[in-house]
Amino acid sequence: MGFLRSVYTMASTPNLSHDGIVLKPPQLSDYPQWAKLRGESEAFLRPWEPAWSDDELSRAAFRRRLKHYQRDIEDETGYAFFLHRVHDNTLIGGITLSHIRRGVSQSCSIGYWVGAPHARQGYMTKAIRPVISFVFDTLRLHRLEAACLPENHVSVRLLKRAGFREEGLARGYLKINGVWRDHLLFALLDEDWRG
């Protein structure tokens, strides 16, 4: 059993907090807020995400998502966090760490989303800092990677503000809303973060 598997489970994945926000592992009790926020944000989110399934917002789909997150933790390949405001526990969005690679790579990828009512209010800027610290200080990885559509200027600015450096363009990198799309690739190294 690996170190991460012996220490972390969905229940024991640490809460991360910074400047009035808290990131917590998703729980079944989050379903009503999650479904409401995702539902009212559908038109806002669809251009930036993989195609939604027919039952995307169902409780069964949410349970499958939680099982996937749990498998990632058990396999030491990923962590998911839901972003909440501290003062009223309102769900704002989510951040996922995925494709954790050990060995000579020591890297992972970050993805994130914010519900439409909370966009462009600085929440993700606040949330990304403790997640980066978790990647480098707790998981002790060397490299954090991100990708976004070239026209997603808000995401590009977020990544650059957080210290990520643009590394190039990947053609047909991810299937977004049913279409293979080019993505800008970004990375943040441990030494960049500490510098």
Nearest to 178 by CA among 37, 49, 75, 40: 49
As averages over each run of 10 residues, the pLDDT of the chain (195 residues) reads: 38 74 95 98 95 95 96 94 95 97 97 96 94 96 98 97 97 95 98 90
Residue 40 lies in a domain: yes
Residue 127 lies in a domain: yes
Residue 162 lies in a domain: no
Beta strands 107-114 and 143-148, pairing class: parallel
Residue 134 lies in a domain: yes
CA torsion through residues 60, 90, 24, 188, sign = positive
Residue 4 buriedness (CB in 10 A; 0-12 / 13-18 / 19+): middle
Residue 76 lies in a domain: yes
**Whole domain around residue 38: which residue ranges?**
3-143
Stated pTM of the model: 0.90
Residue 182 lies in a domain: no
Q: CATH code at 133?
A: 3.40.630.30
Give me the number of domains the chain comprises. 1
